[in-house]
Structures are given as C-alpha cells and as structure tokens.
Chains A and B, each alone.
Chain A
Amino acid sequence: MIGGNSMTSPTTTIAPARAGRTGGSGLWKNIKRHKSVYLLASISLTYFVIFKYVPIWNAQIAFKDFMALDGVLGSPWVGLQNFKDFVNSYYFWELIRNTVMYSIGKMIFSIPAAIFLSVTLYECRIFFLRKSVQTLAYLPHFLSWVIMYAILLAILSPSNGIVNDVIKLFGGEPISFLTDAKAFPWIVILSDMWKEMGWSAIIFLAALMGIDPSLFEAATVEGASAWQRVRYITLPSIRPVIVMVFLLRLGTILDAGFNQIFMLYSLPVYSVADIIDTWIYRQGLLEFRFGLATAVGLFKGVFGLILIVVSNRLIRKHTDSGLY
C-alpha cells in the first residue's frame, strides 16, 4: 500500500479562499500551492496527455504524405491533398450516404422502441413480467458484436435458422440475410435495436419514475382513461428527455457503429455496408494509406465536434441539462 505518503506535505489543505485569482500567474501560483493534489493525479495526467493528446498531435499526418520511416515529423507536407483525394473519391458519397443512413435508421427505430418499452414497463402491473423483460432487455448491451454475430448466425442462417424456417413455412424462399444487399441494412438496424433498446430505455424509465404520482391520481379522479393518462401526462412529462436523447444521437451521426458493421459485413454487401470508419480501417491498416485514412478520420472528428457542440447548445436551450 501507499501508506507512507511522505511525498505530500500534511499542511496542504484546499483553501476555499482562492486568494490568488488575480490573473494567470496567480492561478499558476495557486496551482503550485496545491501541488500535492496534482501530484496525486500526476500519473493519470501524464497518461492522459500521452494517450489523448499525442494522437491529436499525430493527426497532423492528415496534411502529410506519411512515410513510416520518416515518422510523423519527417514526412513531407502535402497541404489538403489527402482531403481532396477523399472528397473526389468514387466512394465519398457512398460512404457518407451509408453512414448517415445507418445512424438515422438506428435513431428512428431504436429510440421509439425504447420509449415504447419504457412506457409499457412503467404501466405493467405484473411484477414478474416486468422484471424478466428488464433483465433480458438490458443484457444484450453487454454482449460484444462478436457474440451478437454468432446469435445472428444462429437465427438467420439459410439452412438452420429459425427466421428462414418461418419464411419457408409461408412458402417463401430462404434469404441469406447477411450477404444480401437488400436485407443487410435491415439486419444492421434491427440487430442494433435488439441489442440497445433495453439499455436506451433506462433513461426514459428513470424519467418516468420522476413523474409526480398525484398527477395521475388527479387525472383518474377527473375520469381520464389509461390511454389519456399516457397521452396527456406520461409522454409530455418525458418529452424533454426524448428531445435530449434525439439531439445527443444527432451529435454522433457520423458514428454508425464500427464494431457492428465490421463484424457483420462481407464483400457482397460492401456497397451498402461500408461506412466511414470501416473505410478508414481498410485504407489505413490494410492498404497503408495512413495520410489519407487520417485525413478522413480528422474530417469526421472535426465534423463530429461541430455537431456535438451544436446539439449540446440545442439541448441546453430545450432542457435544463447538457452533455458537458
């Protein structure tokens, strides 16, 4: 154990006085006075700078023709060439389209599903049913996409999957869902919904728990039906949370779910499956076009930052909370 703690002076306290708030140097002095606190976190901070800020420094190769031998600093500058290559690339619009299609598609399906789940759970009077659904619905969030892929193989397989069994039962032709360009986007959206809807429902459920019960009592006394209670009390009460969740998702619209797509896609479905992140991976680490791949990553990072700042502004405007 770290029992000795000889490295900190025992007299240091966190003075609430904030005596030295007269400017930059005052702040610095004040920080130095509290160096024992900073010392405590020094390893974490060093780690943080190395693992979070060196990559930002490395991102300069987006403007360079990166050569592994020359390193980050030694590679020659090429200006915006990498960005131009990306924007003019045959794949540019396809990648943007797929990425946005998956983000929006997931949002349109899984948020309403989560709202529906949370409201039904909230209204359900059968304890056992409620608990079983909750336990099972939260679980898939903790499964990796590798495991999800195995589950999808088990139910979607053309030869021995239950889904194709049902299709055959109704006289249809079995579909090879994971390699069929028409079916693939649906598999992505619906499997994400299956995995995440329980988890997404938690935040709505928590909001529902916060509704003042006297509202329901008053409504019932006034003769409101269960439907009317949902329509005029339950849903309006969680409206701010719904708005917040939608806006948060808008902020991450360029993250279409790398792990999922990477696990599920294959050559026959690239044209509908390839998203910005999977493309970055292949360009960068399979074709070694580091500069180009970094430029695309940086493009996505900057765009994502703008989106998240905007959505956070909107959240602050429409609700009382914010992301940061």
Chain B
Amino acid sequence: MKSSIRLTKSDKFFHFLVNTSLFVILAIFVIPIWSTITLSFRPNTFIGSALDGMLLAPWKWSTSAYEALLGHRAFLTSTFNSFRIFFQGVATALFLTVPLAYILSIKTLPGRKLLYGIVIIPYLFNVGLIPNYLLVAKLGLMDKLAAVYLPGAISVYNTLIMKSFFEGISEELKESARIDGASEITVLLKIILPLSKPILLTIGLYYGVHFWNDFFNAMLYLNDSALQPLPILLRNILLSSGMNEYVEVNAFGEAPIAAIKAASVLLAAIPMLIAYPFIQRYFVKGTMLGSVKG
C-alpha cells in the first residue's frame, strides 16, 4: 500500500517527523541501557563526567567488576539457585497449567461453565499478601525453593492464553482420535502437545521470566542465605552503599561499587536476553489471544 504515490510536501514533513520521533525514542531506550553497560566496565581510576564514561573507548574498559562477581561464592550460589528455580518452576508450571487449559478447551465438557467460574474467580478477586503467606507457611514451604515458584505455578492468565490456543486445534482431529478409542491423556500427549510447541515455549518462557525475576516471594519465604536467588543478592548489592552487612567487606575487590552494581544486574539479565528473541517471535500472538474473550 501507499507505494507509488508521489509524496506531497506535507507528507514528506510527516514522514520526517515520524522518523525523527522514532530516532528520539530509540535514543531514550539506548541511553539508559548503554549507560549501565559502560558503567559496569568503568575502571577504578576513571575520572570524568557520566558522558565521558559513556563514550569511554572500549580498550580502556575494565572487566574487574565482572571478575570480582564471577569469582565470588555468593554470586555463584545465587545464580545456581536462580537456575534451579527457573527449571523446576517452568516444569512444575507447565505440568499444572497444560491439563487445566486442556480440559477448559473441551467445548462439550460437562460442568465447563462451572469450571470456568472456579478458575476465573481468584483471577478477579485477589485477597492479597497475608492469606497467601499464611498458606505457604502452613504448607511447610518456608526455606524451600518451591516457595518461590509454587504459589504462582498456575497463572490464570497464562492458562486462558493456552486454552485459546488449544481451542484453535482442529476439532475433527481430536474427535477422530477419540472415536478410535484414544483416552484423553493420549489425545493430549499424542495430538495436542505436538501441535502446541509454540504456545508451550511462549508460556514456558513467560513463567520462566517471571520466576527468574521474582524477588518478592524469595524475600518472603527464603531466609536461609544459601538458598537466595540472584534477585535477592542483587537487591542487597544495590541497596548497599559501599559495603554493609549483606555484602562482605572487600568481597568484590578492586572494582568501584557502582560498576559492581551495574555488572551484577547485567549478568543477571543475560539468560533473559538469550530467551528474548524466542519470546519476541511469539508474544504478539500470545498477547492478542489473551485479550480476546475465550
């Protein structure tokens, strides 16, 4: 569309403004990210303004902040804990979400309306922090990694997105399998799931990002410092002004504390950045499905 039409002066001005706006928006996103990256590589001996820091030549960068973090036990333990939470969390969440989304997607299921009501009510009516806290404590999940991911292992929102996807799979395909005597588990495992790789990946990553980022549940339920995931350590590093009770004195050696702070969050963001292109491919579809009534 709009291809071979000669542009008038005002149209040219319009496109000029559109492109300029996008360049400004691009700068608004690039500058903070670039500031953080260059800050993380800033050497201890650096003197100058923030702008000088941002434009510092890469061969003058120092990796001491990264070396300090990667050589630090607490950082490695937290990273390991975060990965455990990530993988256990995603596996648990998918294991619980898929069957629920599947039976909700069966249009002829008796009691479907009732079931839908049961699923939607907690989504609309949130009783808040304390009642959930009491439950986790009662279940004996305190100081267990599961406390971080189990309370959020079925997200109603994700379930509904997945349900919409399952509903899109050809009804005849499922019906013919059932007529051939396949049980519901077989239909789910042999027919639905192989066709649902994109949605499993998307929803899995949604859960994964959520668990990876979570600091609140970890803060509430994990007191044992050996269990703390990255966000908790990051928060302690960020809130420390130099050194304090959370971060051992001189734990991070030579690097300036501002560089340590920046480097720690960038390291923590790496798995997210790896996952990002995969999510980006599907999330437009996902968000659209979620916004359409099921």
* Chain A residues within CB distance 8 Å of chain B: 1-2, 5, 8-16, 18, 20, 27, 30-31, 33-34, 36-38, 40-41, 43-45, 47-48, 50-59, 61, 72, 116-117, 120-121, 123-126, 129-130, 132-133, 135-140, 142-147, 149-155, 157, 160-162, 164-165, 194, 198, 202-203, 205-206, 213, 216-217, 220, 225-227, 244, 258-259, 262-263, 277, 280-281, 284-285, 290, 293-294, 296-298, 300-302, 304-305, 308-309, 321-324
Let me know if A121 and B22 touch, CB within 8 A: yes
Let me know if A144 and B215 touch, CB within 8 A: yes
With a cutoff of 8 Å between Cβ atoms, the chain B residues found around residue A263 in the complex are: 235
Known contacts A58-B134, A133-B26, A142-B272: does B291 contact A321 (CB below 8 Å)? yes
Question: Per-residue CB proximity of B130-170 to A under 8 Å, as 1/0?
Answer: 11111100010000000000110110000000000000000
CA distance in complex: A216, B5 (Å): 12
With a cutoff of 8 Å between Cβ atoms, the chain B residues found around residue A305 in the complex are: 124-125
Cβ-closest chain A residue relative to B180: A10
CA distance in complex: A157, B125 (Å): 40
Let me know if B26 and A8 touch, CB within 8 A: no
B31 within 8 A of A: yes
Cβ-closest chain B residue relative to A147: B265
Interchain pairs with CB closer than 8 A, number: 307
Let me know if A51 and B150 touch, CB within 8 A: yes
Give chain B nearest CB distance to A301 CB in angstroms: 5
Known contacts A143-B272, A153-B261: does B189 contact A16 (CB below 8 Å)? no
CA distance in complex: A55, B288 (Å): 30
Cβ-closest chain A residue relative to B205: A142
Let me know if A324 and B128 touch, CB within 8 A: no
CA distance in complex: A40, B293 (Å): 25
With a cutoff of 8 Å between Cβ atoms, the chain B residues found around residue A18 in the complex are: 108, 110
Give chain B nearest CB distance to A161 CB in angstroms: 6
Which listed residue (B18, B106, B280, B287) contacts A203, Cβ 8 A? B287
With a cutoff of 8 Å between Cβ atoms, the chain A residues found around residue B110 in the complex are: 18, 20, 27, 30-31, 33-34
Give chain A nearest CB distance to B263 CB in angstroms: 9
B120 within 8 A of A: yes
Let me know if A5 and B1 touch, CB within 8 A: no
Let me know if B25 and A34 touch, CB within 8 A: no
Let me know if A220 and B238 touch, CB within 8 A: no
Question: Per-residue CB proximity of B255-286 to A under 8 Å, as 1/0?
Answer: 00010011011001100100010011001100
Give chain A nearest CB distance to B47 CB in angstroms: 10
Which listed residue (A130, A142, A262) contacts B22, Cβ 8 A? A130
With a cutoff of 8 Å between Cβ atoms, the chain B residues found around residue A217 in the complex are: 1-2
CA distance in complex: A44, B104 (Å): 12
Give chain A nearest CB distance to B186 CB in angstroms: 6
Number of B residues with CB within 8 Å of any CB on chain A: 103
Which listed residue (A37, A53, A301) contacts B109, Cβ 8 A? A37
B194 within 8 A of A: no
B54 within 8 A of A: yes
CA distance in complex: A94, B128 (Å): 20
Which listed residue (B1, B19, B99) contacts A213, Cβ 8 A? B1
B29 within 8 A of A: yes
With a cutoff of 8 Å between Cβ atoms, the chain A residues found around residue B129 in the complex are: 277, 280-281, 284-285, 293, 297
Known: A124-B22, A154-B262; 9 extra A-B contacts, CB below 8 A, are A43-B95, A47-B153, A54-B131, A120-B22, A142-B276, A160-B39, A160-B50, A297-B130, A308-B124
Pairs A-B, 8 closest by C-beta atoms: A297-B128, A144-B213, A58-B131, A30-B110, A52-B122, A226-B14, A55-B131, A150-B265
Q: List 5 A-B contacts (CB under 8 A).
A: A5-B185, A31-B110, A37-B184, A225-B10, A297-B127
CA distance in complex: A258, B126 (Å): 14
